[in-house]
């Protein structure tokens, strides 16, 4: 396939171009890589059985991972042919073409103002403004990295958890599945960073999206190196702070240590659920629901606190909380943040960030006709868990199957 030259077309904004010039970079071409895949009948059946089993659905994980890697390889090839020294703002999109799926990788090449023959040396999920924050914080970008996992609660989790969910409190079977799968994505992005020779993954963005009857948790970020983090080469640092937050923390003497997560899945319980239902009809406070959400939140925060202590962090900053209604009276509470630690000698190159590095570009093209076939990181829906996990249906179905089995067994024995 011949490469069409469009040397004067860039995806970088005026603010980004200003920030690039501060480090002797100039804008290059907009680059796009794609890969179209089909699940196929065999994989579809296999993944369906894995979905019933619960936990990671490896067939789906591998399909998505392969599709994205192939698209990324193509965008890197474009950037090299265009003479870029770096590729910025790399992101993924997914387009549904009937029975086929197209994976898109999009980014913008940049060039060295002083050396036009320098080879492509790095790629990053950061746009040019965010790249400025990274470079001024003392981080050297290596490569764009991602980690993903497709997972399902499945029948395996529901057989044990269905009856447990009838009682009020944490459902350990579900908590274990969600905690394990969420940390799989983190471990995979760290493995990619280690392979590239980096000692940190910064600017991690996390999204959770429905995909082929499962949920996919995707983390993207930039594998980077900082001279004061060499002790973490075998276990790279991870951070989901924004790049502007990173700059501010470095400016006052802190470096990220670890992205930490706490997960808890709670059940309102059958009896409490009935009580809460009647209380909600009367209006006013619903004590049962209030207490269970509070307990779930405290349990997730407690796990974040333990993780921070284990990595000897000073603080956990930028904490974000997410609540997912799994249906059937089940609620998942997730807490995610970055553990940081003070280091001697750490500082930013400049005392202040230029305003151009913090200005948010306004959208000047609004497409009201866009359909739901395109799925980007910013379009992930918090309610996707309820849609894809089918909490109430799977629990009810599991209970019916078990009761039916017990009845058949009873009559056969008598």
Residue 370 is predicted with a pLDDT of 55
How are beta strands 237-238 and 200-211 bridged, if at all? parallel
Average pLDDT, the chain: 81
> Residue 79: pLDDT above 80?
yes
> Residue 250: pLDDT above 90?
yes
Q: How far apart are CA 140 and CA 201, in angstroms?
A: 11
Rounded average pLDDT over 148-163:
60
Instruction: Pick from 86-100, 140-154, 185-199, 285-299 the range whose average pLDDT is largest.
Output: 185-199
Residue 40 is predicted with a pLDDT of 64
Residue 175 is predicted with a pLDDT of 87
Residue 362 is predicted with a pLDDT of 80
pLDDT band at 125 (very low <50, low <70, confident <90, very high): very high
Rounded average pLDDT over 349-362:
91
Residue 4 is predicted with a pLDDT of 54
Buried b (16+ CB within 10 A) or exposed e, 379-414: ebeeebbbebbbbeebbeebeeeeeeeeeeeeeeee
> Residue 129: pLDDT above 90?
yes
* Token pair in block for residue 75: 């965008």
When mean pLDDT is compared across 166-175, 221-230, 238-247, the lowest value belongs to: 166-175
CB 73 within 8 A of CB 137: no
Rounded average pLDDT over 152-163:
50
Residue 67 is predicted with a pLDDT of 94
- Its sign, for the CA torsion 70, 374, 180, 213, is negative
Residue 42 is predicted with a pLDDT of 46
Q: Which residue has the higher pLDDT, 23 or 5?
A: 23
> Which pTM value belongs to this model?
0.81
Neighbours of 83 (CB within 10 A): 17
pLDDT digits (tens, 9 = 90+) for 366-409: 766 655 544 444 444 434 444 434 444 454 555 565 666 677 77
């Amino acid at each position: 396939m011949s490469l069409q030259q469009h040397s004067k077309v860039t995806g970088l904004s005026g603010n980004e171009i200003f920030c690039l010039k501060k480090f002797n970079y100039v804008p290059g071409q907009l680059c796009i890589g794609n890969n179209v895949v089909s699940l196929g009948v065999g994989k579809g059946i296999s993944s369906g059985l894995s979905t019933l089993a619960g936990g990671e659905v490896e067939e789906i994980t591998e399909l998505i991972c392969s599709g994205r890697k192939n698209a990324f390889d193509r965008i890197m090839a474009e950037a090299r042919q265009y003479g870029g020294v770096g590729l910025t703002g790399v992101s993924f999109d997914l387009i549904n073409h009937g029975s086929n799926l197209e994976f898109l990788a999009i980014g913008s090449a940049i060039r060295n103002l002083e050396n036009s023959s320098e080879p492509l040396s790095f790629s990053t999920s950061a746009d040019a403004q965010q790249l400025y924050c990274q470079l001024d914080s003392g981080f050297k970008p290596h490569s764009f990295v991602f980690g993903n996992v497709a997972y399902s609660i499945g029948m395996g989790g529901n057989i044990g958890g269905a009856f447990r969910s009838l009682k009020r409190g944490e459902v350990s079977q579900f908590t274990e599945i969600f905690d394990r799968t969420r940390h799989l994505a983190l471990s995979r992005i760290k493995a990619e960073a280690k392979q590239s020779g980096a000692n940190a993954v910064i600017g991690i963005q996390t999204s959770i999206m429905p995909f082929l009857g499962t949920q996919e948790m995707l983390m993207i970020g930039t594998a980077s190196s900082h001279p004061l983090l060499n002790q973490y080469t075998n276990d790279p640092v991870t951070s989901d702070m924004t790049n502007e937050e990173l700059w501010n923390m470095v400016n006052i003497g802190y470096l990220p240590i670890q992205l930490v997560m706490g997960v808890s899945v709670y059940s309102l319980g059958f009896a409490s659920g009935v009580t809460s239902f009647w209380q909600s009809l009367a209006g006013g406070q619903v004590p049962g629901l209030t207490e269970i959400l509070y307990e779930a939140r405290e349990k997730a925060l407690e796990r974040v606190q333990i993780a921070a202590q284990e990595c000897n962090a000073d603080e956990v900053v930028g904490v974000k909380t997410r609540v997912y209604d799994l249906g059937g009276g089940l609620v998942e509470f997730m807490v995610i943040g970055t553990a940081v630690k003070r280091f001697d000698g750490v500082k930013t190159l400049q005392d202040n960030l230029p305003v151009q590095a913090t200005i948010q570009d306004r959208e000047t093209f609004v497409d009201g006709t866009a359909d739901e076939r395109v799925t980007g990181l910013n379009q992930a829906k918090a309610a996707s868990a309820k849609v894809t996990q089918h909490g109430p249906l799977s629990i009810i179905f599991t209970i019916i199957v078990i009761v039916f089995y017990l009845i058949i067994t009873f009559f056969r024995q008598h």
